[in-house]
Amino acid sequence: MTELTTVTLASNELHQLIQTKLEKAGLHSSHADEVAKHLTFADACGIHSHGAVRVDYYAERIAKGGVTLDPKTTFEKTGPSTGIFHGDNGVGQYVANEALKEAVQMVKESGVAVVGISKMSHSGALSYYVKQAAEQNLIGIAMCQSDPMVVPFGGSENYYGTNPIAFAAPRKEGAPIVFDMATTVQAWGKVLDARSKNKEIPDTWAVDKDGKPTTDPHKVHGLLPISGPKGYGLMMMVDILSGVLLGLPFGKRVSSMYDKISEGRNLGQLYILIDPSRFTDLEEFKEKIELTVADLHDIKPAEGFDQVYYPGEISVLNYEKSQAEGIEIEKNIYEYLKSDTVHFDQYGGKGAFAE
């Protein structure tokens, strides 16, 4: 009989395991609850790179003082539709969610809100935040910077991070459309996920220390931008809007996820929220989004495909399925979550790729 390598859990069970572990590391219950909601959501969507696989790292950073446990967060309104949420290096998911609340309040007053988050820790999958905006009949755009681990097009040294972008919009029926992407061929978390499963990665994702394509997730020295110069341009845009614009470290100056794990990361994130009712009839807008989805579904699929999906739809389907059938995670991660071990002391002092 083949030994099971994964475990299937109900959402509330996974959430509780994560929350308990983060509380043992030192995080307040309300903050740990928000992180657990986020990571459970990511795993439910099949975005395992931003799910429970991150708990060990978060627990180590929290336990070693790299997250402000009692952040003195403030919201600085800089104009009718602009503001900066100062996160004081609190745990990323909590800070990002509090900033989102301010942005939602602002967009309901002014029709558009551009809110930057200054000094925060890693905030996880951006889809979590823009989905919340879309559920309130808003268009949501989010982007954030990350530490340098990407070889720029034509270069041989890392400069930018994976610098993701996410977008969401409400529709007439069904869940909002949500699209979330790294500006690299794959996010670093996908490599981390491959390591946890002891699986190879495609040779188009990354290069080794000699700049050659690698399939070994443990030999990754630099990630590659999506579509070459186009992805390179997008990651520059994200870095400028979520770093330079907020007066934060940028490019190769962005703090390492692992190196100085006992210090705050001072990361930046940016929300752009739009109230579609300020531009068109809201119901008509939502009906057209619904029609867009229907049009895409009606397109004849190419050979080897069963259907055309809108960007991000697979994650939505994964989420719906997981609510009925449970969330699958790696057995070794499950065993860690239910153990008395707070963290494995394996990240601090390491480079961008935890080596």
What amino acid positions are annotated as catalytic residues? 122
Q: Assess contact for 14 and 327: CB atoms under 8 A.
A: yes
Cβ-Cβ contacts under 8 Å for 201 (sequence gap 6 or more): 186, 190, 191, 194, 214, 215, 216, 217, 220
CA distance 154 to 124: 29
Cβ-Cβ contacts under 8 Å for 291 (sequence gap 6 or more): none
**Tokens representing residue 278 in the block:** 């300020």
**Tokens representing residue 334 in the block:** 């499950």
CA distance 1 to 4: 9
Q: Which amino acid is at 10?
A: A
Is 177 in a helix, a strand, or coil? strand
Region at 88 (left for phi over 0; alpha for psi -120 to 50; beta for the rest) = left
The interaxial angle of helices 55-63 and 11-25, nearest 10 deg, is 20
CA angle 68, 344, 192 (to 5 degrees): 85
H or E segment to which residue 166 belongs: strand 165-169
